[in-house]
Structure 1
Amino acid sequence: MRKRILILSNHFITLYNFRKELILKLVEDGHEVFISMPKDTDNIFFTNMGCKVIDTPVDRRGINPIRDFKLILRYINIMNRIKPDITFSYTIKPNIYGCIASNLTKNKQVSNVTGTGATFLKKNLISNIAGFLYKISFKRSYKVFFQNYGDRDYFVENHMVKNNYAMIPGSGVNLKQYELCNLPPENHMNFLFIGRVMKLKGIDQYLMTAKNIKQVYPNTNFYIAGFIEEDSYKAIINDYVEKGIVNYIGFQKDIKSWIQKCHCTILPSHGGEGVPNALLESAAMGRVCIASKISGSEDVVDEGVTGFLFEPGNALDLINKVEIFIKLDFETKKQMCLEARKKVENEFDRQLIIRAYLSEIQTSI
């Protein structure tokens, strides 16, 4: 049966990278798909697919009562106009303010908690406000998808949800797009950081690791792929680049070629992740991952089998794990790579997520 489906997003690139397969399936199944997201020249991709794109400004950072209230009103207006059979949302503001609008207009919404960032890592005014907003939005919403058990447990323990939730394995990974590939030769050992350059993502620990490891193993290369989110790091990154400690390659729309060039992906995040796509994509291509021991990352990395885990914020522990990896013989590295691919195939195939959403459409009838 043809349905009217509304999708709330805060950015084109995340929708394109992690949801395009689901959206294509919805269109192919004959559903009418509306996408509310900020204006972007790239939005034409979804228009050409057959979706109706609604330009909706979303202030992705911080809490501004006036702008956020306007966003709720926009969502209410969109829902009253479209009258969706079900709404899917991603990231904090579309989740919270979309749910408030859905509750007021009596629409069904499935919110995907893709991670909470720094919001609940420290108890402060922002965390208190966010907790309150989640309570008044999520507790009355139709369904909440959690990507890791840490987030689920936190929301349940703090009474932000009732029994209206389910677990999904992150955003999943397109196994055809991210194919298994051979490890490069070991004449140079290449490491890759994928993510926004900011304190929360553990860039300080990555830089310290690169500096220490290169002193002992000069044939190592450390790459950084991602936007510089916090301006204070611009001079620091430039200094490390000039000294030959790291290579900054900026944000990469297609990260595959860089994963292929590297032997290992490092994600030193301090927390607030869902299930990190950087780890899923790297593991799918047969790369060992070294990650901090946090919710989400722990789901992807099996210690000593597919990669290594270290204590969050502990650069010495990270250095130790990188050294352990370097000292492994080539055949052991190859076996870990194969195990990483196998784990992703079994547990994180994006088709699993697509089926979960299709099931929600069926049960919402």
Structure 2
Amino acid sequence: MLRDGWKVHLLIPKENIEKIQEFEQKGCKIDYIKINSHGTNPCEDLILIYKYKQKLIELAPDIVMTFTIKPTLYCGISCNKLRIPFISTITGLGIAVENPSVKQKLIILLYKMTFKKVRCVFFQNAKNKYFFDKHNIKIKRQKLVPGSGVNLDAHCYEPYPEKDDTIRFLFIGRMMKDKGIDELLAAAQRIKEKHDHVFFDLIGFCEADYKGKAQLETLHKQKMINYMGHQDAIHDHIKAHHALLHPSYHEGMANVLLEAAACGRPVLASNIPGCQEAFDEGITGFGFEPRNVDDLVRAIEKFIALPYEQKQAMGIAGRKKMEQEFDRQIVVDAYMEEIENILKNKHQ
């Protein structure tokens, strides 16, 4: 879009400064908005809707694209009021939506209101799409895409680490319960007790409300795991490891699995929508049941037992799968088609 001369404004919370700087360097304009992602205070949410509306009046965009639940619902409501066309992407449901409750009913009602006038909704996995159909959330136009896809050039194939009798597993993501960190820490302890040549490296921010933070720090001091905090140059970290672990409870489509596979690394991930699409069982990786330490340990042990050459072959197969099914250009083309259709109809 920037290459075509469009002005691109990002309305985002001020969290990942490095990523924000990257967008600014590319020519995007950045505006900040405070979002309490896990908050349930209705007054806060009403203020958020008001702020979205004021910012949209100020910017007067031709099209708005929303991602994640609160921006999709509250910015979408504001777009409807101002008659601004918008496109939404469902990047996952989250526990509040997946589990039956009063909160779930309220969120479904908000989706029904918001999506009455949405131009197109992109789903990143089939189960999320099924949830919306099942709950009669009517959407005039919708598309299923392979997540955000993966940039095959930025995440090029890397030769497998040389054989040196060690096995290094990598986790990349936020340190929080929903990412399966509790199970990963428990599994790492059990594996380290039997295999002192196996190492676990964890990369990512630790959420302020993560109750396992003390355990994380203790295991780091005991050298059961190596917690590295936030890191840049993720590709370099992926290529230094033998496999990626992702024990998440729910996902839209786990980008880190796509990036690891594109790099030529096997992936071990939860058997859930948003993860299971990213690997072929026994060919490019192994799956395990979420929230299940025993099954996670089983999958890790299974990978450890593989001959070096089979681990290497898994990585090569994963790269081929990404090239065939998850090239980011597929996703970019799908979005651009919708954007161009909206603009064409708008100017007729």
The alignment's TM-score, normalised by the length of structure 2, stands at 0.92
Distance 1:54 1:215, change over 3 A: closer
Cα distance between partner residues in 2 of 1:334 and 1:48: 37
Residue 79 of structure 1, CA deviation? 2.7
Task: Encode CA deviations 1:77-108: one digit per residue, 9 max, x unaligned.
Answer: 23333332211111111111111111111111
Q: 1:56 aligns with which of 28, 33, 36?
A: 33
Deviation at 1:157, TM superposition (A): 0.6
Q: Is the 8 A contact 2:264 2:319 kept in 1?
A: yes
Q: Secondary structure at the match of 2:65?
A: strand
Offset at residue 305 of structure 1 (A): 0.7
- Could you say which residue in structure 2 is the equivalent of 1:254? 233
Aligned twin of 1:281: 259
CA RMSD of aligned residues (A): 1.7
- Partners of 2:21 and 2:217 in 1: CA distance: 35
Supply the distance in 1 between the matched residues of 2:288 and 2:67 (Cα, whole angstroms).
29
Mark the runs of 5 or more structure 1 residues left unpaired by the alignment. Answer: 1-25
Q: Which residue of 2 aligns with 1:130?
A: 107
Cα distance in 1 for partners of 2:173, 2:23 equals: 25
- How many residues are paired up? 339
User: How many Å apart are 1:38 and its aligned residue?
Assistant: 3.1
> Aligned to 1:119, what secondary structure does the other structure show?
helix
Distance 1:60 1:322 in 2: 32
Residue of structure 2 in register with 1:202 after alignment:
180
Q: Which structure 2 residues correspond to residues 101-180 of structure 1 after superposition, within 5 A?
A: 101-180=78-157
Residues 60-71 of structure 1 mapped to structure 2, 5 A cutoff: 60-71=37-48
Give the direction of change, closer, same or farther, for the CA distance of 1:336–1:47 in structure 2 (3 Å limit). Answer: closer
CA contact (8 A) 2:176 2:206 kept: yes
Q: CA deviation at 1:308?
A: 0.6
TM score, norm. by length of structure 1: 0.88
Q: Which amino acid aligns with 2:53?
A: I
Out of 202, 209, 232, the residue aligned to residue 211 of structure 2 is: 232
Distance 1:67 1:318, change over 3 A: same
Aligned to 1:359, the other structure's residue is in SS state helix
Please state if 1:245 is matched with 2:220. Answer: no
Q: How does 1:1-365 map to 2 (within 5 A)?
A: 26-39=1-14, 43-184=20-161, 185-229=163-207, 230-271=209-250, 273-364=251-342, 365=344
Q: Deviations over 1:48-99 (max 9, x none)?
A: 4333333322222222222222222222223333332211111111111111
Where 2:2 maps in the other structure, the secondary structure is helix
- Offset of residue 45 of structure 1: 4.2
| In 2, Cα distance between equivalents of 1:309 and 1:331 | 20
Deviates more, 1:35-44 or 1:195-204: 35-44
Q: Secondary structure at the match of 2:170?
A: strand
Cα-to-partner distance string for 1:22-45 (whole Å, 9 max, x where unaligned): xxxx01011122222235765454
AA partner of residue 149 (structure 2): G
